[in-house]
Structure 1
Amino acid sequence: MAKETKVSYEFGSYRLDSGDRLLYRGDQPVPLPPKVIDTLLVLVENSGHVVEKAVLMEQVWPDVTVEENNLTQNVSLLRKTLGASGDDRGFIETIPRRGYRFVAPVKAVTQAAPPPPAAESEPPRPAVRESRRWLYTGALLLLVLVPGVVIAFRYFPQARPAPILRQLTTNSTELPLSTAAISPDGNYLTYADPAGLHVKLLKTGETHSLPSPPEWRVIAIRWFGDGVKLLASGISVQDSKSGIWLFGLLNEAPRQLSDNGLQATPSPDGSQIAFVSDNAHELWLMDANGQAPHRIFTAKPDESLVGPQWLPSGERIGYAYIYNGTRDTSGKTSLQLDLGSIDREGRNPARIPFHSGLTGGTLLPGRFLYALRRTPLLDWSQSTLWERPMDPGLRVFRGEPRLIATVGAGVTPFDFSAIAGGRQVVFLKGEPQSDVYIAELNQKEKRLLNTRRLTLDDHNDILSSWSLDSRAVLFFSDRNGNFDVYRQFLDGQIAQPIVAGPQDETVVKVSPEGAYYFYVVQPEGWKSTATRPITWMKIPVAGGAPQPALPAPVAGEIDCALPPSRVCVLLEFTATELVVHSFDAQHGKGSELGRAGIDRWHYHALSPDGSRLAIALEDRVRIFTLGAGGVGGKPFEDVAAPSWKPLNAISWAPDGSGFYATAFRPAGRTVVLYMDLQGHAWPLSEAPGEFESTVVPSPDGRWLAFTRWISANNAWMLER
């Protein structure tokens, strides 16, 4: 009988096992979903040759019809995974309008499969079970703790079974999950998406929807210990009010327990419910029927409380603090995160400093399992799962952390839950990506026409500004690994680099006379800081060497008006106020134009004629007059927008008649809107998710460009 053979492919530091459909880096498995592995296998088997998109899609999805976007996402994940290790980033080449080519050298290694074991007189020894499937997941930018997880932390001399990652839902970017939780017995998965609240029987995959309050967005789900009832926290789409509801599996009507509170979680015995207030500053308790709500803890004004979770004993409640650290001598502040706990009566609080890259986790008896990114803000490196022993009251850690699994590059694991005993843990995993879109502006009718995606790569592209002739969009992108600044014409598909260096270059502007580009060089480690001094550079539009635009880094930004104005300003945000100076390319920082009592960075925009400065606050735009007397020298003007809070990015209309801005909908969507100077607003575009997205009109007023983020949040399970 002929021996069966196994073929593995080696490239760089990676090995692809074609039989088991597993990718390894060295001896460590790299978790990827099956269809991504299939995509890689087709490319590797045809290394050096162009594989047409249609051929790839036919081989990866032979029995179904899928959109090309599925293939694009697979290739994007492969590039981020293979490139995240520091190896050669040129594994996969895009052939425009055709397909892809695997360009790294590949070595095929053929091995004979091991023969079946011969019969033995003694019984066979038990073998350690190895994982057969590795999958990925992705998402969003909230740091939380939540129920449950897995794995004994004590060290055993024998080898541990490798963890298995398994995808539980397959929602598209149009229906991203907002939350998910596994039942205590492991039989059911409950999850919420824009279509409603759903229950899935994991054994069969059968799914049905639960009756839900109308126009209500679920943002957190937690099961009671009986596995029959669950809590759902959410926000009304109509009035943005929060609420906590009780649901059952028998399709009985949901019952509202509270009309003020979020992130509700039941105690292990089911007698009480812990939740945080709408402003995320207070921790509350109430009875299981919603009676006797009372506050037990209040955080400092500059801190937020997130992710309350009962410790397994039921005597204490854990949570996380999020806050900005102390500003150092350079002006830099970093996002900080601590773990805390308190007893039922609101006494004996404890606090442990923790890693600011935490994105989610769960408390188990004697251990904490959690997910980390390398940095907490803008980071597309690997996300990892860890566990660390702790005392039963979450007062102190009792050992060093241990790596459990690598989740994937460019993803965020969050919203954890686990079965009783912790052998299985469920979490959401999303892979956000940003792209630049453009649309024709019909200012008279306040609407957009022919919206289309301008940047067609599978990396993160973030809008910054326009060329003065309105023919090209200026943006920064990580398509070459680090961030560089680019220009792309409206009628072109290829972006042209303006500056591409070894550091991260971002935020590009054009001087009013069109002679210079001003851009930012970010300091090392900038992705882990909330605010920091940055280096402003200038480079001639006609070509030439970059030069410093300012003699030293500043905690501020350069902004410029439109022609025929020649005004540029330098905005510096100190610990207590905003200070504005004049600025020009030849002389740098000039005279002070004024100051105002705004104590932290906000989105802002200089008016087209350079006479006014608009600052986007929570529910209004504050307009200051520049010039004689400067900012604060004259009474400011507020343009209220209470229905569109929080306001994010803001840009003036080219004629100075109003603003283009982005804001969040209560239903978990980001909206692009136009707002006039009287506060009347017209929504122009909406997209799923809550992402701070830039929006800038072209100087001639014919086009609107904006950044749009997508994220396919899905539920995954870690099994040990």
Structure 2
Amino acid sequence: MTDHKFSVFKFEEIEVREREFLLVKDGNSLPVEPKVFRVLLFLLRNPKRLVTKDEILNAVWNDCAVSDNSLTRSIATLRRLLGDDSREPRFIATVPTIGYRFLCDVVAVEEGVNEFAMDETHLLPEIDTKNHPKPKFEPGRKRLSYLSLSGLCILLVVIVAAWFLVRQAVSTRDVHRPFVPHLATEERITSNPPEAPVDDAILSRDGKYLAFYDNLGLYLRQIANGETRAWGLPKDFVAWPDDWFPDGTHLLVTRREGPSRTLSLWKLSLLGDDPEKLMDDAAGGSVSPDGSRIAYVPGPKFGSELWVMNSDGANARRIASARKPDPPNLGESWIQHPAWSPNGTRLAYVEARFATAQADPEQFANSLLTSDANGGDLQVVLKDDARLRPALWWTADGRILFAYLNDPTSEREDTDVDSISIDEHTGKAATPPQRVTEGQGWIGRLSATSDGKRLVVSRENTTRQVFITEPDPGNHWWKAPRRLTLDTNESLATAWTADSKAVLFVSDRNGSWKLFKQNIDETTAEVLVEGHGMRFPRLSADGLQVLYLVESQPSDHSFPPSLMSRPLAGGPPRWILRENGISNYQCARAPSQLCIFSKLVGSDHVLVSFDPEHGVGREITRIASGGYYWSLSPDGSRLALVLDPHRIRFLSPDTGAAHDVNLNDWPAFNIDWSADGARLFIRSITPAGIPVILALNEAGKAEAVIEGQVGSNFAFFIQSPDGRHGILEMPTPGDNNAWMVENF
């Protein structure tokens, strides 16, 4: 086998003002950003040694005040260049909360080729900024390569070379994103604390104003001087910004109103005029460049269709419908974030869908499409892309900006802004996508000025965390919850151990989704199962096994997930079954042996029994529309299913006998049975937007037992088997703010 080697060295060109660094293999060059390059050098000088984050930060950033995020992004970039995987590292391993370790041997190899010497002064020489001379290579000077890889490392280098060539091919599913040595810089323009996270932020077309919404209301900010004031609206007027009209004085908003929380589109004025209603039962509006039309999604099934109306609300007509899923195991799709082309002849939008309904973490299969503004001529720009996120803007120079997860191994799933040039006449892609900027967190909204010189990115850094609560003696309320998982990464708990002393959860705190167990009176967690792509831990009927789903190939939704089990007392994992479209599963408690999983079959939600020893059993029930949220009673005698937001069905798995209960005053989302099987705990919300957990009996009596705060949210509530505690899953906001990019 040929001994492949990487050479790492600094390279300068007379035409380039700033330093450029390359990772070179057999003459093929991979550009590396300077800080990233220096991180690599530090790791290579310390092979197989655990180096702390502080060591690297001090060596590379020279004691400058930078956060761990800068180092995390540098490591992620190196992994992309090396073709490494944080979940199964072969080059760079993450040691959680401490630092990193370079796994391969590093051998200095002397060759008769001219290059830099090993020491730092030769490696990073000073530059004459006026003349920019190229380094002079003298005959006979020794070459020192940092890596001489053998065995597995040699094989991996070959893989890296193959990756570099393959990534140059352009396809609609996984397109080449050329390296951008100098990405545009995001600068924060709002500074809201986690207690008041910015949810939506929209830049006016002239770049003078920013409209943004947080849990306290709608605000207007002047870009030039930063002056911010609340928009003068009636107290009961709860609305968030959708888009600005091109005159720069009117704002299109979606309003939520009334006990039923209906949505409608309104026009607000900076000049003090009263709010003007444009359309009932509508949301998510986008104003055409000339201000004459508005694209929006109508209710009651928001996102199933895309409509266009005149700017005064007249002449509403449908122009597109969400397509049926293909393959059928993908969830139903919905249309989000319509964006107009520069001359108003076409619309772009994201057709979003969950690859697996209710998955934790959520699995996507989103598509980017363009359509004629009058309907028809549908063009698919990106198809069923697991890394595409639903935030769009079509710029004046013909680029569609979109949110994209370029690094799928990102511990926090940080999202970038990418762009793709579109032929406005055909609606098809004219060039491969190009990364524009990167930052920390999810992108909720994009907006730009008419001249294309300013871009605003609304970023969210909310993570779901596990909280513990207990009943308040003497009344039906539960006490204020306390946080159990003391980590900034996501932690998703869906089960208790049989003795009610510990919770089972998955978390990405170590760089990939692993399965943990944590006692409720402790602050640290124990890793039960290593690996990646894990979700939905549940307990077997006898309480001795933990069941969990594994996405073997998260980026390929045609590959079905596997249901696994592992003894809580220790032992190897065991495969149970593999099915497409699994969305949830639960087991009753002994002496019942009933276990059920649900899956999508076309548009139907099908519930099927299974046995942890023998696999798939019989079909229990099939729901044509609805049934995404369901729960099996502890004794296995009843199923509860949410048919629609205000109707719950109680069904016997044995006989099929069923009766429905209406929740006229409450919308129902996630549901779980109480420990004694007498009630359901339901995630809901009040007309004022306050999150609550309801307790509902089969006679239809509902009462709130936990109440949150305006702007907060509950995911679900699961009572411990002994009834003395409950898991309360709550999204916890971080740095949710708006950022601006100039001359992108």
TM-score (norm 2): 0.71
CA contact (8 A) 1:532 1:555 kept: no
Paired amino acid for 2:242: I
Q: Distance in 2 between the 1:274 and 1:610 partners?
A: 48
RMSD of aligned alpha carbons? 4.1
The structural deviation recorded for 1:666 is 6.8
Match of 1:170 in 2: 191
CA deviation string 1:233-287 (max 9, x = no partner): 2212643121222222244443333333212233333333332213233444444
Match of 1:638 in 2: 660
CA contact (8 A) 1:512 1:567 kept: yes
Match of 1:618 in 2: 644
The residue correspondences of 1:582-621 to structure 2 (distance < 5 A) are: 582-590=609-617, 592=618, 594-598=620-624, 602-619=628-645, 620-621=647-648
The residue correspondences of 1:412-423 to structure 2 (distance < 5 A) are: 412-423=442-453
Distance 1:457 1:696, change over 3 A: same
Match of 1:121 in 2: none
Match of 2:298 in 1: 277
The structural deviation recorded for 1:709 is 1.4
Match of 1:484 in 2: 514
Distance 1:252 1:405, change over 3 A: same
The structural deviation recorded for 1:335 is 2.4
More displaced 10-residue stretch of structure 1: 393-402 or 568-577: 568-577
Paired amino acid for 1:183: S
Q: Distance in 2 between the 1:268 and 1:161 partners?
A: 30
Match of 2:546 in 1: 517
Paired amino acid for 1:247: L
2:458 is the alignment partner of 1:401 = no
CA deviation string 1:643-682 (max 9, x = no partner): 433x332210112221112245677765433323215241
Match of 2:378 in 1: 350
SS state at 1:441 partner: coil
2:347 is the alignment partner of 1:304 = no
CA contact (8 A) 2:585 2:597 kept: yes
2:350 is the alignment partner of 1:320 = yes
SS state at 2:192 partner: coil
Match of 2:727 in 1: 705
CA contact (8 A) 2:539 2:545 kept: yes
Q: Distance in 2 between the 1:28 and 1:102 partners?
A: 12
Match of 2:573 in 1: 546
Distance 1:166 1:599, change over 3 A: same
The structural deviation recorded for 1:700 is 1.0
The structural deviation recorded for 1:601 is 6.6
Match of 1:145 in 2: none
Distance 1:82 1:562, change over 3 A: same
The residue correspondences of 1:709-720 to structure 2 (distance < 5 A) are: 709-711=731-733, 712-720=735-743
Distance 1:313 1:407, change over 3 A: same
The structural deviation recorded for 1:78 is 5.7
TM-score (norm 1): 0.73
Distance 1:205 1:444, change over 3 A: same
Q: Distance in 1 between the 2:365 and 2:391 partners?
A: 15
SS state at 1:420 partner: coil
The structural deviation recorded for 1:92 is 7.6
The structural deviation recorded for 1:558 is 4.2
Distance 1:563 1:285, change over 3 A: same
2:261 is the alignment partner of 1:240 = yes
Q: Distance in 2 between the 1:353 and 1:336 partners?
A: 11
SS state at 2:521 partner: coil
Match of 1:140 in 2: none
Distance 1:487 1:293, change over 3 A: same
Match of 2:367 in 1: 337
Distance 1:190 1:583, change over 3 A: closer
Distance 1:401 1:168, change over 3 A: same
CA deviation string 1:487-517 (max 9, x = no partner): 11111111112212x3333222222323322
Match of 2:587 in 1: 560
Q: Higher RCO, 1 or 2 (CA under 8 Å, sep at least 6)? A: 1
Match of 2:708 in 1: 686
Stretches of structure 1 lacking an aligned partner (at least 5 in a row)? 1-7, 14-21, 30-39, 49-55, 61-70, 95-100, 119-158, 328-332
Q: Among all aligned residue pairs of Structure 1 and Structure 2, give the percentage whose two residues are the same amino acid.
A: 25
Q: Distance in 2 between the 1:168 and 1:42 partners?
A: 29
Distance 1:255 1:76, change over 3 A: same
The residue correspondences of 1:83-94 to structure 2 (distance < 5 A) are: 85-86=78-79, 94=97
Distance 1:540 1:183, change over 3 A: closer
The structural deviation recorded for 1:577 is 5.1
SS state at 2:370 partner: strand
